[in-house]
Structure 1
Amino acid sequence: MQTCLHLGAHRCATTSFQEYLRQNAAELETQGIGFWGPRRTRNGLFHGVLPTPSVGNSQSLAKRAQGRIRMNLNQSRERGVQQLIISDENLIGSTRANLRLGALYSGVGERMARYAEAFDGQISSVALNIRSLETYWTSVLTYAITRGHRIPTAMKLQNLAEGSRSWRDVISDIACAMPGVEIKVLPFEIFGGRPEMQLEMLSDCEAPRSHARVRLNASLRLEDLRAHLLTNAAQGLPAGEGRWRPFDETQCAMLRENYADDLMWLAAGADGLAQLVQDPEHPAAGLNLPQTDVTRGRPHDKQDRRLAGSG
């Protein structure tokens, strides 16, 4: 049985992807595709994998978690599941910790090493969704504010924009913690609203189209965000409607540049650590670009003379 650990990340349409899998679970099982989502993974299945304050011995709890996971994997295998997708964005950390530290998933390496040990070598691949840092942090901040966090100060925004940790560091940490496991990276900009396409990239099935456009936990717009907050807190938001844009142009440029560097690194092979999943409907150009205009005549010559003589 092939086991894919889908890690999210947060604010990358992960909840919508999980809902799509949940709604189509019965149909997918006929194709040998199984699904474990947060309703299962956060219901005690992984208790003990990560150290937590407890009266029990941490090593004993980790062994019990390993046995519990092995038992559940065997049950899925006995039901005829050939490919199992386990999706839970909290495996790599939390947005609360990201905001507190001002960095992307700083402890992901240690966390994934513990999960790799708990699965005892039965993880075949890992899937990670990434997103432009500008929109990722904006979405994280919007989500946090709706849950009682304060509106970020100018210094906080500047620190986020100047942060040196990017998706490349997250991927490198995961690869170091899980050597030999295939890592697939799916950009939110391509797969965020296409769960069926994402599923096909992670499995060998013909993904159902039902429930493929369900959208959950979308960021609130400014007018909705103001209505959600108390009057005093809402005064810190800018006037107008539409998406909240907390970063200024310079900060946005810094965050976009970091994300562009990440994508270039992935496209160049990511040092052999990960695979960037491309849009199957828009394949990248090869070494020899297609020639759409193979004729040349008098109109071209006249244009060339005009260009050459221009001052």
Structure 2
Amino acid sequence: MELFLHLGAHRTGSTAFQRTLKRNGDVLAAAGTAYWGPEWMRGRDHLMLRDNGRFDTGAEAAVAEDLAATGAARLIVSDENILGSMRRNLLEGGFYAGAVARLVAYCSHLGMEPARIGLGIRDYAAYWVSAYSYLLPAKPLPDFAALKPALLAPDRGWREVIADLRGLFPRAEIMVWPLEAVQGRMRALVARFADQTPQRLRGVEKRINTAPGLAAIPAVRAIRAAEPDLNGAQMRARLAEMDLAGAPAPELFTGAERRALAARYAEDCAALAAGFADVRYLAEGRI
């Protein structure tokens, strides 16, 4: 069996990518491809990597049964949590510090290395803002100002993550795409990744899994101060009841800080376009 591994990352359009794969499961199956998305990966205890870096005893046999049951020649696995935690990224000020160990564990568990890897990337400022506003309603986070110094100069950026992938999987084809270049072209991107033609796939029209607007941040803090025991679902319900139209949005990064982060991201994209880590860079016009 051949493994194609879509790793996300978080907040780079991965949910739309996954929904497109799921919606076209019949097309993929007809081509001999099985798809395991987040619902599959996170809904089975024997596919959950524990905090000790191991899987449960006996999980290998259950995974082997799952793989045999697909009857497929190719398996696409898509779950951004394989790389690690978006919350940890924020709190540590860098991207996926434990990715190598996690990837080794997952690939050993599946019994195969990926033939193809897909990874979306995004402008640093947009990523950090999206991650913060997405996570804040679920659990308390430090004030953004306390996190910002590390976010402005992260030890691990996109190139460090990609270098890890290349070092770990020297024979794999690695596809990397900037979110800014593929918005509105998700069907073509998924087709390219899954070896399909775009005309055969059904697309996902509306935006999904978007982060709350920045205006929600003061509201979340006020609600949590008054009701500290609210869980994520209850917090989202409270926000849905509020009219935040016209509410002031905090500026998490200054203009100068955004420009500095954009410059670093531009350097990443230029290096990838020039062949960094021998990746296939799917920027505009290359999908």
Which bracket does the TM-score occupy, shorter chain normalised?
0.7 to 0.9
Indicate whether 1:184 and 2:175 are aligned. Answer: yes
1:260 is matched with 266
Letter in 2 for 1:7: L
Q: 1:218 aligns with which of 200, 210, 214?
A: 210
The SS at the match of 2:205 is coil
Q: Within 2, Cα distance between the matches of 1:130 and 1:220?
A: 20
Does residue 123 (structure 1) correspond to residue 120 (structure 2)? The answer is no
Q: Over alpha carbons, which structure has the higher Rg?
A: 1
User: 1:72 is matched with which residue?
Assistant: 66
Map 1:110-259 to 2 at 5 A.
Answer: 110-150=101-141, 152-207=143-198, 208-230=200-222, 245-259=251-265
Stretch of structure 1 that moved more, 25-34 or 183-192: 25-34
Q: Within 5 Å, give how 1:34-73 maps onto structure 2.
A: 34-44=34-44, 46-47=46-47, 49=49, 52=52, 61=57, 64-73=58-67
Matched, 1:93 2:84: yes
TM-score (norm 1): 0.75
Q: CA deviation at 1:148?
A: 3.1
Aligned residue in 1 for 2:242: none
Spell out, residue by residue over 1:149-202, the C-alpha distance to the aligned partner (whole angstroms, 9 max, x if none): 246242421221122321000111122223322211121112244321121121
**How far apart are the structure 1 equivalents of 2:223 and 2:56?**
50
Q: Could you tell me how far apart the structure 1 residues matched to 2:172 and 2:248 are?
A: 41
Task: Please tell me the residue identity of whatever aligns with 1:216.
Answer: I
Distance 1:196 1:242, change over 3 A: farther
Residue of 273, 281, 286 corresponding to 1:276:
281
Q: Secondary structure at the match of 2:128?
A: helix
- Per-residue deviation at 1:233? 6.4
What is the SS of the residue equivalent to 1:103? coil
Deviation at 1:41, TM superposition (A): 0.8
* Counterpart in the other structure of 1:26: 26
How far does the alpha carbon of each residue in 1:183-238 deviate from its partner, in whole angstroms, 9 at most, with x for none?
A: 1112111224432112112122124453422322112223455555525869xxxx
- Contact 1:8–1:14 at 8 Å: present in 2 too? yes
The answer to whether the Cα contact below 8 Å between 2:90 and 2:147 also exists between their aligned partners in 1 is no
Cα distance in 2 between the residues matched to 1:74 and 1:91 = 22
Distance 1:156 1:60, change over 3 A: closer
Q: Which residue of 2 aligns with 1:15?
A: 15
> In 1, Cα distance between the equivalents of 2:47 and 2:136?
29
SS in 1 for 2:44: helix
The 1-side partners of 2:248 and 2:47 are apart by 41
